[in-house]
């Protein structure tokens, strides 16, 4: 969302939707649709892929055990969600929650 707002090529309709509270489900749907097709989503996925890779690297020196396995599973789950390139379910809820919490 922040990458889309920072992108000069973002159209005014999407910029408006991302810059204010969205009290109606139709507005949330329009904002999510605009984000799904925006090039900023590819950049966001690249950033998140990088973070997942760094997290996996940080786990290497940890001793084997339940905690390390849980953290590796978390990394795998995040990577799988990103590879599906889906902005629904948890991710869609997160955007909606963020927009409401931030008063945007």
Q: What is the pLDDT of residue 87?
A: 45
Q: Count up the domains in the chain and report the number.
A: 1
Confidence at residue 84, expressed as pLDDT on a 0 to 100 scale: 63
Domain that holds residue 18: 2-101
Indicate left, alpha or beta for 9 from its phi (over 0: left) and psi (-120 to 50: alpha): alpha
- What does the pLDDT read at residue 86? 45
Q: Identify the pLDDT of residue 101.
A: 46
Residue 52: per-residue pLDDT? 86
Contacts 24+ apart (CB under 8 A), 83-88: 85/41, 85/45, 87/32, 87/35, 87/36, 87/41, 88/32
pLDDT at 42: 84
10-residue mean pLDDT profile of the chain (104 residues): values are 87 92 90 88 83 91 94 85 55 48 45
């Amino acid at each position: 969302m922040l990458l889309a707002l920072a992108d000069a090529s973002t159209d005014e309709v999407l910029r408006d939707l991302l810059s204010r509270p969205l009290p109606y489900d139709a507005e949330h749907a329009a904002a999510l649709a605009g984000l799904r097709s925006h090039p900023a989503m590819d950049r966001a996925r690249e950033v998140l892929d990088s973070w997942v890779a760094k997290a996996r690297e940080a786990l290497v020196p940890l001793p084997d055990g339940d905690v390390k396995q849980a953290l590796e599973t978390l990394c795998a789950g995040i990577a799988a969600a990103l590879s599906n390139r889906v902005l629904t379910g948890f991710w869609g809820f997160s955007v909606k929650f963020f927009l409401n919490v931030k008063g945007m």
